[in-house]
Amino acid sequence: MTLEKIESPSVLVDLNIVENNIKAYQAYCNKMQVSLRPHIKTHKIPELAKAQVKAGAVGITCQKISEAEAIISEGGISDILITFNILGEKKLNRLRLLSEKVKLSVVADNFQCLEGLSSAFKDAKSQLTVLVECDTGASRCGVISPNSACNLAKKIETLPGLIFGGIMTYPPISQSEKINSFLLNTKNLIEEQGIRVPIISFGGSPNMWEIEKIPVGNEYRIGTYIYNDRSLMNRGNCSEDNCALSVLATVISTPEAHRAVIDAGSKILTSDLFGLKGYGYIIGYPKLVISSLSEEHGCIIGEECTGLKIGQKIRIIPNHACVVSNMMDEVIFLRGKNFIKRQPVLGRGKVW
Amino acid sequence: MTLEKIESPSVLVDLNIVENNIKAYQAYCNKMQVSLRPHIKTHKIPELAKAQVKAGAVGITCQKISEAEAIISEGGISDILITFNILGEKKLNRLRLLSEKVKLSVVADNFQCLEGLSSAFKDAKSQLTVLVECDTGASRCGVISPNSACNLAKKIETLPGLIFGGIMTYPPISQSEKINSFLLNTKNLIEEQGIRVPIISFGGSPNMWEIEKIPVGNEYRIGTYIYNDRSLMNRGNCSEDNCALSVLATVISTPEAHRAVIDAGSKILTSDLFGLKGYGYIIGYPKLVISSLSEEHGCIIGEECTGLKIGQKIRIIPNHACVVSNMMDEVIFLRGKNFIKRQPVLGRGKVW
């Protein structure tokens, strides 16, 4: 089957590029001497998670329990970190069930969360590893001071069923000195209490090639590198040739020479802009702008003539790959222009 | 089951409000003497489409063939307008199959599209009704002049398998005089050719209560009114009490008094802003702002203290209901605070 025969809109994933991306970033992490723990939220596909582990990743990162449940459904994954505060009886029960299937660790940034985890794991066969989440400037979850982190570490050590695993941050973009000093101070404070800090986990795509700026870290979490996207192209983190995921769309209308409309809108490309102009990069048409999206229409603007024809198929590198792969029940695996198979996105929509 | 027992994040739909919204807008259209043809892209649920038809809608609107296929899967729907240029052999074959199950009409804005439709329907049992899409200022699909619309109408009348059904527009916001005159001129031009113009279809949520401003129109297409959302609250089109859809989320972290983090991010609330500040309205907390979303986290900011506690459940009216209901495989039907059932969103992700 050629590209022309694939229904549009579809999400295409080139496995040749995927494999190169996995290999290249694993090699970089090896060179930097940090463990790589890929975030599977980007692809939500067991087969790709297994490929990441096979290439050398120490395990995977998930954001939600249901995502982890989906990703282990085919076997082959034995080590998962869930980087989310888990609260509530139902979720805690599911977390414990999950812990019986894989080596599991989670993060927490508050006492209430720790107490819930302990009550669920106090009579479990093995202890749950808990990392303390630190806010090093991203203003999302995480304790805001090394002292608070140290207090949580001490608490973890006293609570039945839990074991302190280290510290974790989702770092802001480009504040490496602040991040490193926060993490180093936290590590020192905790070690002064006689508690080991095995893992110092950081990550993120924007600064993916600047790992040396956070020397205290020893584990890197990152999702997008497996596919890459326009936002990372724009930062110079990758080139067009490194982008494995694209959206196949068809031109359905050319109402004026400088305007065209495609059959892909916000229900596939999403509204994520990430500060960019337009909703994606059209391969082969660098000057065209996807200027607006309705739910199922995308509007393309050219300076004079778009050069696009009704019925023509185009491929778009989206601004943000991680949200696009979450829109479709399946993606199309390719190698170059060769169709390989339809691939269910088993973790799609798993937000619990 | 009470709200407290429902897993978060979930999308909740209050059927009492849904029924009131269906009834109220049908009554308005009856009073305005226009046919109502609800767009089911908002809910993508057969049961709700049937309720809209039962209340008096002449049929439904779908954006994609796969959406229509899903929505008729339970029976009870007999009249569908697909407001999209259908191109390509596979889609045309599916369109013809669909036409054997329901009274079907589509739109087109170019000759190539018409030729494809004709080739698929020239030997069909019954003709396909085609409306000409007109761009009355929204700059999406549609011919840009009444003359072009007239030429397409004439072409439809000559092509085997097709019958001209009228004209259709997805109108821009607040340009009613221009819209009315475009549609009226088009109607007159076509009628001068001896061709009847049975349907003049317009629509949209922003101007939903101003139907009288387009007196030439006789059919109204609208989606969001069944659920309503923050964007329509903000326009004064509805009140908080008319919003049937909300996102149930749990506060998972309160790192500082003025900040809280919830377990709902862009993979449920979406990044649609519609010019609003923040990513949704938190019921009961009008002063709090959902200031940023990651994929699975939502960050809430208050002026001083948010008043939110870890573990607390909150309900959010999203900026744009139509994209939120597309994120989840199922929604929760409620009546007031009473759980009714889990409801699959059969049309979710149906973009073909």
pLDDT of residue A1: 64
What b-and-e string marks burial along A22-36, b requiring 16 or more CB atoms within 10 Å of the CB?
beebbebbeebebbb
pLDDT of residue B3: 76
pLDDT of residue B198: 98
What token pair was written down for B325?
A: 């209901």
The mean per-residue pLDDT over the stretch A309-324 comes to 98
From the list A241, A323, A326, A202, the residue with the least C-alpha distance to A274 is A323
pTM above 0.90?
Answer: yes
pLDDT of residue B97: 97
CA–CA gap between residue B326 and residue B1 (Å, rounded): 24
Pairing of strands A259-262, A298-301: antiparallel
Return the sign of the alpha-carbon dihedral for residues B93, B98, B99, B100: positive
Cross-chain CB nearest to A144 (options B110, B250, B255): B255
pLDDT of residue A173: 81
Q: How far is B64 from chain A, CA to nearest CA, in Å?
A: 8
**Residue to substitute from B40, B44, B85, B274, interface A, most A β-carbons within 10 A:** B85
* Residue A242 per-residue DSSP state: G
Residue of A nearest to B67 (CA): A296
From the list B191, B105, B118, the residue with the least C-alpha distance to B149 is B191
Pairing of strands B245-256, A289-293: unpaired
Query: Long-range contacts of range A180-187, CB-CB < 8 Å, 24 or more positions apart?
Result: A180/A213, A180/A214, A180/A215, A180/A216, A180/A217, A182/A134, A182/A136, A182/A137, A182/A146, A183/A134, A183/A136, A183/A214, A183/A216, A183/A217, A184/A216, A185/A146, A186/A132, A186/A134, A186/A146, A186/A149, A186/A150, A187/A216
CA–CA gap between residue B223 and residue B237 (Å, rounded): 13
Q: Cβ distance B160 to B126 under 8 Å?
A: no
Q: Which residues of chain B have pLDDT under 70?
A: 1
Q: What ipTM did this prediction achieve?
A: 0.97
CA–CA gap between residue B333 and residue B235 (Å, rounded): 26
DSSP E strands, chain B: 10-14, 35-38, 60-62, 79-82, 103-108, 128-134, 162-169, 199-203, 219-222, 245-256, 259-262, 281-282, 289-293, 298-301, 313-317, 330-335, 338-344
SS3 B335: strand
10 Å Cβ neighbour count for B176? Answer: 19
B135:A87 CB<8 A: no
From the list B216, B231, B228, B203, the residue with the least C-alpha distance to B83 is B203
CA–CA gap between residue B281 and residue B263 (Å, rounded): 15
Per CB-CB distance under 8 Å, the chain B contacts of A3 are none
pLDDT in tens, A194-231: 999 999 999 999 999 999 999 999 999 999 999 999 99
- CA A159 to chain CA centroid, nearest Å: 31
Per CB-CB distance under 8 Å, the chain B contacts of A351 are 9, 263-264, 267-268, 296, 328
pLDDT of residue A4: 77
User: Percent of chain A, pLDDT > 70?
Assistant: 100
**Exposed/middle/buried for B235, CB within 10 Å: 0-12, 13-18, 19+?**
middle
The helix or strand, by DSSP H or E, that contains position A91, with its residue range, turns out to be: helix A89-99
SS3 A32: helix
pLDDT of residue B4: 77
pLDDT of residue A145: 98
SS3 A35: strand
At residue A329, φ and ψ (nearest 5 deg) are -70, -25
Q: Cβ distance A57 to A21 under 8 Å?
A: no
Residue of B nearest to A64 (CA): B296
- CA B84 to chain CA centroid, nearest Å: 13
* Ramachandran region, residue A14 (left: φ > 0; alpha: ψ -120 to 50; beta: rest): beta
At residue A21, φ and ψ (nearest 5 deg) are -65, -45
C-alpha R_g of chain A: 22
Q: How far is A196 from chain B, CA to nearest CA, in Å?
A: 25
B142:A255 CB<8 A: yes
Average pLDDT, chain A: 97
Taken in order of first residue, the domains within chain A and their CATH numbers are 3-10+231-344 (2.40.37.20), 15-226 (3.20.20.10)
SS3 A57: coil
pLDDT of residue A2: 72
* Residue A179 per-residue DSSP state: H
Q: Is the pLDDT of residue A3 over 90?
A: no
